[in-house]
Structure 1
Amino acid sequence: MPIVYDEKDKWRFLKILRYFNDEYSQENIFRTLDLLQKFGNINPFERPTSWPPRRPLVKILSFHLAENHYHLLLKEIRPGGTTQFMKKLGDGFTGYINEKYHETGRIFQGSYKAKVVDSDLYLQYLDVYIQVFNPIESYLGGIKAALENFEDAFSFALNYEFCSLADSFRKRNLQIIDRDILKEERFLNLKTYKEFARDAILVRSIREFLGKLAME
């Protein structure tokens, strides 16, 4: 079942990641932002200077949005922050979809699924799974073609607007992610990250390494 139906829905999801990861909240937040962007000459992901200092609920390390699911790699930075953020995300996006398409009920089936990451290697593989493997599943010809043409498929992932790979390597800055715990050299340089991703996907079989989580 789709959770997004067009490009505007996808951009709204990303804006919710940007603006709802904050203790601060207000009614009609996007109406306020639309007015400020129209008359105040700010970009769609720029935080208004009139708002109080941002106090994030979690750190978003990476993300990917597809037509019928999404993946987030989060670091909890305060007790209950993940639960609070996921509730704001679910409620906010459901409200948007229901209002736009005159629907009722939940967009996401059941509560969100979470897994605690307990090793650096698992964290690194999961990051590649979210930022590279997930996007290239949409590559022309599917995952088989992507694996046979990895260089081109990696460029496809880098240019896919609804995942965080471009933000991770400063190709753009939507101010959504915080990569502070991914400090190994391979995660600071695009070339070495690509080689790590190639090895994880083509040689190490990332799906098998991640197990059940990679199938959900």
Structure 2
Amino acid sequence: MKRPKFANNNLYHVYNRGVEKRKIFLDKGDHFRMVHNLFEFNDIALAENIYYKSYELRSHNFKEDNRERKPLVKIHAFCLMPNHFHLLLEQIEDNGVSEFMKKIGIGYAMYFNLKNERSGTLFQGRFKAVHVKDDSHLIHLPYYIHLNPLDMIEPNWRNKEIQNHKKTVEFLNSYRWSSYLDYAGKKNFPLVIETNFLEEIIGKGSEYEKKVFDWLKERGASSLEKSALLE
């Protein structure tokens, strides 16, 4: 797939997966590391700890430091899956998406290889990106990104075939590795994402929760995936 030319104030659905579809997040520490990277590397300044001499985080509850930060992108939504990830990014600095993803790719691969005593490529080539050109595309992406974890408990959710609705709700409300909880009114990783823009479109708190499940019942992801919106 040809990568789009990145322009400031434009939105992009960015994603990548492990080489040979291998798992890239093996435990809670790996998830925390990637979330930490999303925050730490989103800065025009060089990341001092991009190679991580230690793969252990001092604290999972990282806090905003006192240094002046100049973000490369706005992260509007994200989701970490066992063998891949999704990001909804808005470029706000020239070449911001490419620089941010370069930091993410190098930093996480170095951490993962050091921790697991391995070498070589971790990701399946360069990251993929789709330009979000209009509202008809944008309106569906937050739902699609946030519902991806259902693959782990309801493999047919994309075809609107949910076996246990209560279990689905409970699972999404307990899955920490996406921005869903922050939009649903439960602070999870508020320093990582910018919610104001999407909240004006999809709502927040219980309003957003309702819209997510209404979308799941009425549309599902299969029609979206078959269209050009995710390609």
TM-score by length of 1: 0.83
Moved over 6 A (4+): 213-216
Could you say which residue in structure 1 is the equivalent of 2:37?
16
Alignment partner for residue 222 of structure 2, among 202, 207, 213?
207
Could you say which residue in structure 2 is the equivalent of 1:107?
122
Whole-angstrom CA distance in 2 between matches of 1:56 and 1:107: 26
Alignment partner for residue 180 of structure 1, among 188, 192, 196?
196
Kept in 1, the 8 Å contact 2:183–2:195? The answer is: yes
Whole-angstrom CA distance in 2 between matches of 1:83 and 1:126: 21
Greater percentage in helix: 1
Q: How does 1:104-143 map onto structure 2 within 5 Å?
A: 104-131=119-146, 133-139=147-153, 142-143=155-156
**% same residue:** 32
Kept in 1, the 8 Å contact 2:185–2:205? The answer is: no
Q: How does 1:59-208 map onto structure 2 within 5 Å?
A: 59-131=74-146, 133-139=147-153, 142-143=155-156, 147-174=162-189, 175-184=191-200, 187-208=202-223
TM-score by length of 2: 0.78
Q: Using CA pairs under 8 Å that are at least 6 residues apart, name the structure with larger relative contact order, 1 or 2.
A: 2
Compute the displacement of 1:44 (Å). 2.9
> 1:210–1:123: structure 2 CA closer, same or farther, 3 Å change rule?
farther
Compute the displacement of 1:22 (Å). 1.0
Kept in 2, the 8 Å contact 1:207–1:215? The answer is: no
Could you say which residue in structure 2 is the equivalent of 1:58?
73
Kept in 2, the 8 Å contact 1:146–1:153? The answer is: no
Compute the displacement of 1:146 (Å). 7.2
Aligned partner of 2:164: which letter? N
Compute the displacement of 1:173 (Å). 4.0
Kept in 2, the 8 Å contact 1:60–1:74? The answer is: yes
Whole-angstrom CA distance in 2 between matches of 1:195 and 1:169: 9
Aligned partner of 1:21: which letter? N
1:137 is paired with a residue whose SS is helix
Q: What are structure 1's unaligned runs of at least 5 residues?
A: none
Whole-angstrom CA distance in 1 between matches of 2:211 and 2:136: 11
What's the RMSD between the two structures over aligned residues? 2.8
Q: What are structure 2's unaligned runs of at least 5 residues?
A: 1-21
